[in-house]
């Protein structure tokens, strides 16, 4: 259930170059939030009417706290990065489908979470929930360089494997290179595994190809610029294998049918 609320900032901090973390008191949203969902953040500037979608990074249900980790890329995220303790921020959420869709892999005890760049934050809550459920959780994380934001947080819930573009930390290369180097899916482990990923599209295509090739259940969270965030504008479309009941063409709305999809649903 979505809630439009005025949340109160409890902390904003910079984690890396251009990467910020904002924690807000948002009990109404937190109580319904699932890993993989997102919120829409509204600007206080009346010249910027459209909200910014930001993935939910973490929640503290008891304290009613919502954590957002994001890259500053425009006016809305820059405005959020300047917030201070006590500031008010309008939010709509939680929005979209989350990783609760991973039902068919419930008997598979190995969970491999794959995050690239700003696709890393939504993996944290998923790692936390799957760790709590007793799964064997590995997180494969791709960074540009040695600025490894959220790594220490992730280590609380998963065995972490790192890939960097420049080779400064972990495996020099892609997340797929890191999976291979760590041998996570070797010796029959792929028969026990479920893959979940969020990040840039080239990475997601690679992960989807790995899942298809080795017959591993695979779920990806797509990132896309959105206008309305509630499914009305058809501005965040992805190509689907089946005809969508809303648009009656081979499309799915990332904000409504997603952002999490089974790769079997999509034309990658």
Is 151 found in the same domain as 131?
yes
Given a cut of 60, whether residue 132 has pLDDT beyond it is yes
Domain range spanning residue 243? 224-268
- Find the CATH number of the domain harbouring 202: 3.40.50.80
Is 190 found in the same domain as 138?
yes
Domain count for the chain, please give it: 3
Is 255 found in the same domain as 159?
no
Given a cut of 90, whether residue 61 has pLDDT beyond it is yes
Is 113 found in the same domain as 212?
yes
Percent of the chain at pLDDT exceeding 90: 73
Report the 3 state secondary structure along the chain. CCEEEEEEEEEEEEEECCEEEEEEECHHHHCCCCCCCEEEEECCCCCCCCCEEEECCEEECCCCEEEEEEECCCHHHHHHHCCCCCCEEEEEEEECECHHHCCCCCCCCEEEEEEEHHHCHHHHHHHHHHHHCCCEEEEEEEECCCCCCCHHHHHCCCEEEEEECCCCCCEECCHHHHHHHHCCCCCCHHHHEEEEEECCHHHHHHHHHHHHHCCCCEEEECCCCCCCCCCCCCCCEEEECCCCCCCCCCEEECCCCCEEEEHHHECC
Is 206 found in the same domain as 114?
yes
Is 117 found in the same domain as 68?
no
Domain endpoint, select from 77, 95, 113? 95
Given a cut of 90, whether residue 75 has pLDDT beyond it is yes
- Find the CATH number of the domain harbouring 248: 2.10.240.10
Is 266 found in the same domain as 197?
no
Domain endpoint, select from 95, 124, 146? 95
Is 112 found in the same domain as 33?
no
pTM: 0.91
Is 119 found in the same domain as 70?
no
- Find the CATH number of the domain harbouring 24: 2.40.30.10
Domain endpoint, select from 61, 80, 95? 95
Residue 235: pLDDT band (50, 70, 90) is low
Average pLDDT, the chain: 90
Is 154 found in the same domain as 194?
yes
pLDDT in tens, 138-171: 999 999 999 999 999 999 999 999 999 999 999 9
Is 61 found in the same domain as 32?
yes
pLDDT in tens, 169-179: 999 999 999 99
Is 195 found in the same domain as 232?
no
pLDDT at residue 48, as a whole number: 84
């Amino acid at each position: 259930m979505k809630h439009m609320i005025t949340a109160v900032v409890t902390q904003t901090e910079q984690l890396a170059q251009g990467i910020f973390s904002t924690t807000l008191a948002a009990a109404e949203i937190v109580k319904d939030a699932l890993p993989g969902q997102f919120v829409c953040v509204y600007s206080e500037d009346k010249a910027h009417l459209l909200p910014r979608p930001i993935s939910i990074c973490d929640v503290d249900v008891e304290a009613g706290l919502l954590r957002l980790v994001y890259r500053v890329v425009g006016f809305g995220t820059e405005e959020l990065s300047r917030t201070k303790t006590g500031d008010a921020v309008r939010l709509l959420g939680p929005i979209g489908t989350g990783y609760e869709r991973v039902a068919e892999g419930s008997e598979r005890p190995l969970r491999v979470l794959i995050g690239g760049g700003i696709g890393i934050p939504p993996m944290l809550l998923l790692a936390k929930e799957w760790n709590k459920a007793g799964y064997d959780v590995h997180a494969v994380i791709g960074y540009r360089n040695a600025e490894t934001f959220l790594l220490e947080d992730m280590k609380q819930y998963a065995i972490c494997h790192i890939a960097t573009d420049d080779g400064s930390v972990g495996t020099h290369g892609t997340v797929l290179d890191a999976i291979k180097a760590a041998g996570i899916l070797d010796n029959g482990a792929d028969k026990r595994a479920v893959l979940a990923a969020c990040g840039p599209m080239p990475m997601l295509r690679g992960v989807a190809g790995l899942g298809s090739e080795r017959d591993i259940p695979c779920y990806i969270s797509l990132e896309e610029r959105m206008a309305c965030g509630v499914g009305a504008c058809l501005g965040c479309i992805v190509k689907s294998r089946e005809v969508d009941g809303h648009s009656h063409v081979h499309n799915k709305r990332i904000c409504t049918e997603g952002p999490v999809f089974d790769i079997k649903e999509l034309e990658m």
